[in-house]
Amino acid sequence: MPADRRSTLRLLAACTAQPPLALFAALAAPPLRAQDVPQPEKQPIMAGPYVPSPDTVVSQMLDMAGVGPDDVLIDMGSGDGRIVLTAAKLRGARGLGIEIQAPLIALSIETARREGVADRARFVRQDLFTTDVSEATVVTIYLLPDTVNMLRDKLRRELRPGTRVLTHDYPIAGWLPESWQRFDEPEKKGATGQPSATVYLYRIPAQVGGRWQATVPAALSRQRIVLELRQQWQMLDGMATVGGREVPLEDVRLRGEAVSFRLRLEHGRLASFEGRARDGAIEGTAAIEGAALPWRAARAS
Ligand X SMILES: C[S@@+](CC[C@H](N)C(=O)[O-])C[C@H]1O[C@@H](n2cnc3c(N)ncnc32)[C@H](O)[C@@H]1O
Residue of 26, 47, 73, 93 interacting with ligand X (CB under 6 A): 47
- Please identify which residue in 27, 62, 79, 96 interacts with ligand X, judged by CB under 6 A: 79
Element (H, E) at 188: helix 188-192
Q: What is the DSSP letter of 282?
A: E
Q: Which residues pair with 276 in a beta bridge?
A: 258, 283
Cβ neighbour number for residue 24 with a 10 Å cutoff: 16
Q: Using the rule CB under 6 A, is 46 a contact of ligand X?
A: yes
Cβ pair 285, 297 in contact under 8 A: no
CB 88 within 8 A of CB 74: no
Near ligand X by CB under 6 A, which window of 6-14, 40-48, 180-188, 266-274?
40-48
Q: Provide, rounded to whole angstroms, the least separation between the CB of residue 126 and ligand X.
A: 7
Q: Which residues contact 265 (CB under 8 A, 6 or more apart)?
A: 220, 221, 223, 242, 271, 288
Restricting to residues 50-69, name those near ligand X by CB under 6 A: 50-53
What is the nearest approach in angstroms of ligand X to the Cβ of residue 140? 6
Residue nearest to ligand X (CB): 77
Q: Where are the alpha helices (DSSP H) in 32-126?
A: 55-65, 82-91, 102-114
Determine the size of the site formed for ligand X (CB under 6 A).
26
Q: Which of residues 99-158 bind ligand X (CB under 6 A)?
A: 99-101, 104, 127-129, 142-143
Pairing of strands 210-215, 225-232: antiparallel
Tell me how far, at minimum, the Cβ of 108 lies from ligand X, in Å.
10
Question: Which CB sits closer to ligand X, 46 or 291?
Answer: 46
* Side chain identity, residue 45: I
Q: Applying CB under 6 A, which residues contact ligand X?
A: 44-48, 50-53, 75, 77-79, 82-83, 98-101, 104, 127-129, 142-143, 168
